[in-house]
C-alpha cells in the first residue's frame, strides 16, 4: 500500500479589526498532533484581546511557523497541516514489519495519558482529543517531586541521561520527553499546565528559560544597550496598537474638556433602598450608563464619528456604549452593543458580563471595534478626575471619579453628601461647549434626581 501526503498552509487571517499583525500567545497544538477541521490551534493577541484561531484544515500538524511571543503579519504562514490521502492498493505487499522498540518504549511512557501524541505513538485510552486552552494567568501547582540529581558513574562522570521516576509523568507527546532529556531536565520537576496535569512543550521551554535566566545577566540588558541603572521593556503587540490609536487621537482631534461635581446621594440612596438579600438590583454603573444613553439620544451628535474625507458627521442610529476596563494586557474599551434598547437591569447584566470577559482578554472583535461612545469609570481606580483621551474614531468620552463623602451645602446647611466628579472630553469639530454642557447636565441632573429620570426611561 502506498499513500501520498499533501500539505496545506494556513495563513493568519484578518481578524476583523483592521490589524496588520497579531502576537502568538500560546499554541494549542504541537507539531505531530492530529487536528480536525475548524479546531482551535492557537491563541493570538490582537490590539486589545486574545482570541482563539481555528484551522480550516484537518490532518497532522507539520510546521508551526511562529514561536510563542512572536508577531505574525496578516497573510503570513501560521501553521502547515499534512494530510495523508487515501492509500492505493500495493500490488506487491511486504510482510508486516517487526515492532519498533522505540515505539514500544514511547507507548509505555504514554500510559500515564498523553492527550494528543504523535501518530502511531499514542495510547488508545485517550483517542484524538484536541489540546485544551488553559485560562490565562493560571497554572496548576507544581508536582511535589524533588529534582533528581544524576549519580556519578564508575568513572566519576555524571550520567547524562536523567533517571526515570517510577511513576510516569503525563506528557503531551514524546517530543516533550526528548526535549527535556536534551536539556538535562527532570520532567517530574517541571510544573505542568496542560489538561489533567500534563507537561507540554511550552512547559519545557519555560523551564529552560528559567534555568537560563537564573545563570544569565538581566535579559533586558541583552536585548539592547542601556545606560547604567536602566533596563528595557519591549512594547507588546497590544501596547504598539494602543500607541498608534492614542497618538492618532491626540494628533487629529482638537479636544476640549469640561468638569462638573455631581451630588450622587439620591442615586446612592435609591439603589440601597431597592436592594434585597435575594436581589441586589442594578449597580450604580448600570444606572449611570442608562442616563448616559438617554443623554446621547437627546444629543445624538455625540454618538458619532467624523468623516474627514467627506467633511461629514456620521451619526450612529444605535448606541453601542463602550466601557473602559483595565484588563490583563492593558486598558480596553469593549462596547455593550445596542445599549439603547436595554432596560437598566439588562444593562447591568450586560455590563457585568462584558467587564468580566474584558479583564481576561476575552472581548470579541465586534465589541472592541463597535463602540460609538465611551464611558470611563476611573473612580474604580481610586482617583477623582481625569482628562481622558477620546477613543478614536469616536468623538467624545465621559468619565466618573470615585464617589466619596464631602461637605456640601444643601438648603443653606453644610451636610455630608456623596459627591463624584464628572469630566467630559469632546471633539470640538463636531459640537461647541453649549452642546457639551447640555449633555453633561442631562446626565448630572438624572444622577442628582434619579427617580423622575428612571420613570421617564
DSSP reduced 3-state for 315: strand
What is the C-alpha to C-alpha distance for residues 285 and 264, in angstroms, rounded to an integer? 12
Q: Is the pLDDT of residue 456 over 90?
A: no
DSSP reduced 3-state for 435: helix
Q: Is the pLDDT of residue 378 over 70?
A: yes
What is the C-alpha to C-alpha distance for residues 2 and 90, in angstroms, rounded to an integer? 6
What is the C-alpha to C-alpha distance for residues 445 and 269, in angstroms, rounded to an integer? 16
Which structural domains are found in the chain, ordered by start? 5-215 (2.40.50.100), 238-456 (3.30.559.10)
pLDDT band, very low/low/confident/very high, at 31 (cuts 50, 70, 90): very high
Average pLDDT value over all residues in the chain: 78
This prediction's pTM: 0.58
Contact by Cβ (8 Å): 396, 373: yes
User: Among residues of the chain, what percentage have pLDDT more than 70?
Assistant: 74
pLDDT band, very low/low/confident/very high, at 87 (cuts 50, 70, 90): low
DSSP reduced 3-state for 421: strand
What is the C-alpha to C-alpha distance for residues 283 and 353, in angstroms, rounded to an integer? 13
* Active site residue ranges: 428
Q: Is the pLDDT of residue 109 over 70?
A: no
Residue range 318-326: mean pLDDT, rounded:
95
Amino acid at each position: 500500500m502506498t499513500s501520498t501526503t499533501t500539505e496545506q498552509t494556513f495563513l493568519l487571517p484578518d481578524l476583523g479589526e483592521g490589524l496588520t499583525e497579531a502576537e502568538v500567545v500560546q499554541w494549542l497544538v504541537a507539531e505531530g498532533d492530529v487536528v480536525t477541521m475548524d479546531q482551535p490551534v492557537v491563541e493570538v493577541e490582537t490590539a486589545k484581546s486574545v482570541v482563539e484561531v481555528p484551522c480550516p484544515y484537518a490532518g497532522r500538524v507539520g510546521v508551526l511557523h511562529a514561536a510563542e511571543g512572536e508577531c505574525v503579519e496578516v497573510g503570513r504562514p501560521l501553521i502547515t497541516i499534512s494530510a495523508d490521502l487515501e492509500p492505493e492498493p500495493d500490488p506487491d505487499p511486504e510482510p508486516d514489519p517487526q515492532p519498533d522498540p522505540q515505539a514500544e518504549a514511547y507507548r509505555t511512557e504514554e500510559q500515564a495519558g498523553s492527550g494528543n501524541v504523535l501518530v502511531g505513538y499514542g495510547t488508545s485510552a485517550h483517542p484524538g482529543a484536541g489540546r485544551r486552552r488553559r485560562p490565562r494567568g493560571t497554572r496548576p501547582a507544581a508536582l511535589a517531586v524533588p529534582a533528581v540529581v544524576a549519580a556519578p558513574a564508575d568513572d566519576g562522570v555524571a550520567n547524562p541521561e536523567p533517571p526515570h521516576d517510577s511513576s510516569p509523568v503525563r506528557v503531551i507527546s514524546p517530543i516533550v520527553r526528548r526535549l527535556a532529556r536534551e536539556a538535562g531536565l527532570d520532567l517530574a520537576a517541571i510544573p505542568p499546565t496542560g489538561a489533567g496535569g500534563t507537561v507540554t512543550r511550552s512547559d519545557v521551554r519555560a523551564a529552560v528559560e528559567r534555568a537560563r535566566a537564573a545563570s544569565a545577566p538581566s535579559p533586558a540588558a541583552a536585548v539592547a544597550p542601556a545606560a547604567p541603572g536602566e533596563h528595557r521593556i519591549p512594547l507588546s503587540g497590544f501596547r504598539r496598537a494602543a500607541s498608534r490609536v492614542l497618538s492618532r487621537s491626540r494628533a487629529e482631534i482638537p479636544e476640549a474638556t469640561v468638569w462638573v461635581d455631581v451630588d450622587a446621594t439620591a442615586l446612592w440612596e435609591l439603589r440601597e433602598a431597592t436592594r434585597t438579600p435575594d436581589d441586589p438590583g442594578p449597580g450604580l454603573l448600570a444606572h449611570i450608563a442608562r442616563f448616559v444613553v438617554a443623554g446621547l439620544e437627546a444629543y445624538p451628535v455625540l454618538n458619532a464619528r467624523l468623516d474627514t474625507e467627506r467633511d461629514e458627521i456620521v451619526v450612529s442610529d444605535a448606541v453601542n456604549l463602550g466601557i473602559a476596563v483595565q484588563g490583563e494586557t492593558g486598558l480596553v474599551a469593549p462596547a455593550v452593543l445596542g445599549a439603547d434598547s436595554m432596560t437598566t437591569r439588562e444593562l447591568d447584566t450586560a455590563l457585568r458580563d462584558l467587564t468580566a470577559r474584558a479583564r481576561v482578554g476575552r472581548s470579541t472583535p465586534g465589541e472592541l471595534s463597535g463602540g460609538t461612545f465611551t464611558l470611563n469609570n476611573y473612580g474604580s481606580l481610586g482617583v477623582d478626575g481625569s482628562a481622558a483621551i477620546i477613543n478614536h474614531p469616536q468623538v467624545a468620552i465621559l468619565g466618573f471619579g470615585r464617589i466619596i463623602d464631602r461637605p456640601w451645602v444643601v438648603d443653606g446647611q453644610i451636610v455630608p453628601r456623596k459627591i463624584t466628579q464628572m469630566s467630559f472630553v469632546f471633539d470640538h469639530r463636531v459640537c461647541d461647549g453649549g452642546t457639551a454642557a447640555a449633555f453633561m447636565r442631562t446626565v448630572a441632573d438624572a444622577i442628582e434626581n434619579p427617580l423622575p429620570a428612571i420613570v421617564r426611561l
